[in-house]
Amino acid sequence: MKIVVLDGYTENPGDLSWEALEALGELKVYDRVSYEESPVIAEIIGDADIAITNKTPISKATMDACPNLRAIAVLATGYNVVDYAYAKEKGIPVMNVPTYGTQIVGQYAVGLLLEICSHYQHHSDTVKAGKWENNVDWCYWDFPMIELYGKTAGIIGLGRIGRTTAGILNAIGMKVLAYDSFESEEGRKLAEYVELDRLFAESDVIFLHCPLFPATEGIINRENIAKMKDGVILINNSRGQLVVEQDLADALNSGKVYAAGLDVVSTEPIKADNPLLTAKNCLITPHISWAAQAARQRIMDITVANVKSFIDGKAENVVNK
């Protein structure tokens, strides 16, 4: 069984091991191939039976050029980099990692909010630059300090990650509202389900934890921002395409939105002309909510299990049945 990993570096920059996959077949691991459609992808897959990808696309053309390809495993939950419908036509199962980073992504979302509220790194930097030792008062702060206790958070998407975030917000004394197409008893223990317009109107902080569907694409837009409180804070470490970026940049620059904490943008890596790069009070990190070693180890473990299940004739976590 020949197995090829197309873009293994972000999953394993050297702190994990590929040994469990090596035990399942003849393995080749490439750090990077291409994040754009390219004939080189098919050349790299070659005569492999199983291709493993994170963000390298596997298209219809690639599959047609690789007649030995029998299965595709994705080192992530999202699998839109694969033409999974065409893979189904060809009898190629596409397997993903359905859950691996629930806790760390929720933690990261709240971490973005806490940085906006207290500017930890900025103040640490100013202390090290000598500002505190030379300050006429015994303390100082360069930004408003925001207390979250008693404020209202709105979560759009109360799935596993949304519920994790809600639990943390409950613990720090925030009221939590939620909007989700599918309500659950577990969710009701953590938040009050409301209509979307009420969530926009009452929330001091809005978290995006929803999938990218046609109904949610661009959900943060000029019209919906106008429904929000003045000075609202937006947190998005879900999908960049949930936000109309120029509309958010305009709202940040006008002060309608006080601040945004983003770990995702519409095109990744970010483009130099993205309007959020120059917007006021916009914290952007490079899509790393998921990247804790423990979470990446879970990705590795589940991917190995997926590959083994396919080899054993009972493929698991197949998204294109």
The two tokens of residue 308 are: 């083994």
Helix axes 102-118, 120-128, angle to 10 degrees: 60
In this prediction, residue 269 carries a pLDDT of 94
In this prediction, residue 215 carries a pLDDT of 95
Question: Residue 228: pLDDT band by 50, 70, 90 thresholds?
Answer: very high
Mean pLDDT across 50-62: 98
| Percentage above 90 pLDDT, the chain | 99
Mean pLDDT across 5-17: 98
Distance, in Å, from the CA atom of 276 to the CA atom of 259, rounded to the nearest integer, reads 11
Contacts of 214 (CB under 8 A, 6+ apart): none
Q: How far apart are the first and last CA of the chain?
A: 22
Mean pLDDT across 262-274: 97
Interior CA angle at 25 toward 62 and 94, to 5°?
40
Residue 263 to residues 68, 110, 210, 286: CA-CA distances in angstroms? Answer: 37, 12, 14, 6
Distance, in Å, from the CA atom of 83 to the CA atom of 92, rounded to the nearest integer, reads 11
Distance, in Å, from the CA atom of 252 to the CA atom of 259, rounded to the nearest integer, reads 6
List the catalytic residues: 239, 268, 287
Nearest Cα to Cα of residue 279 among 235, 247, 249: 249
The two tokens of residue 233 are: 């804070």
Question: Residue 128: pLDDT band by 50, 70, 90 thresholds?
Answer: very high
Render pLDDT for 213-224 as a digit per residue (tens, 0 to 9). 999 999 999 999
Structural domains in the chain, CATH included, are: 2-100+293-311 (3.40.50.720), 102-284 (3.40.50.720)
Render pLDDT for 133-187 as a digit per residue (tens, 0 to 9). 999 999 999 999 999 999 999 999 999 999 999 999 999 999 999 999 999 999 9
Question: Residue 250: pLDDT band by 50, 70, 90 thresholds?
Answer: very high
